[in-house]
Amino acid sequence: MFMGEFHHTVDNKGRLIIPSRVREDLGDQFIVTRGLEKCLFIYPKPEWNNIIQKYKQLPDTKDRRYFMRIFLSGATMCELDKQGRINIPMPLLEYANLEKDCIIIGVDDRLEVWSKDRWDNFINENEENLSDIADNLFATEV
């Protein structure tokens, strides 16, 4: 399970250091793709394969086709270099607005990469509602 928050930077060549604490869990090869809310998702290869199998079982609807086009067209297989970095393709850097400072967060089965500004805005916009969100998610029926 991925968890935690890590502050890093993307260099001018699009390289990002992956935190050493999560490298082993990612494995030798992993997938980086467009995520939701304008961040990037990083999946270990076995988890990626599980997601693709689930999508293949969905009915062929317009929503499925649109989502798969966006989700898969940005997907790229990555490996760590000797310094523990990945090279993020330009379309993904632009999608997530990754220019320098970024935040990597662990979210159970994946990592998410956010621009620092977007992450700060996300936290500021949602922390007031965290209690209500928790109540809705964990409410038990009477």
Domain positions in the chain? 2-138
Compute how many other C-beta atoms are within 10 angstroms of the C-beta atom of residue 45. 14
Note the pLDDT tens digit of each residue in 82-123: 999 999 999 999 999 999 999 999 999 999 999 999 999 999
pTM comes to 0.91
The CATH number of domain 2-138 is 3.40.1550.20:
yes
Note the pLDDT tens digit of each residue in 36-82: 999 999 999 999 999 999 999 999 999 999 999 999 999 999 999 99
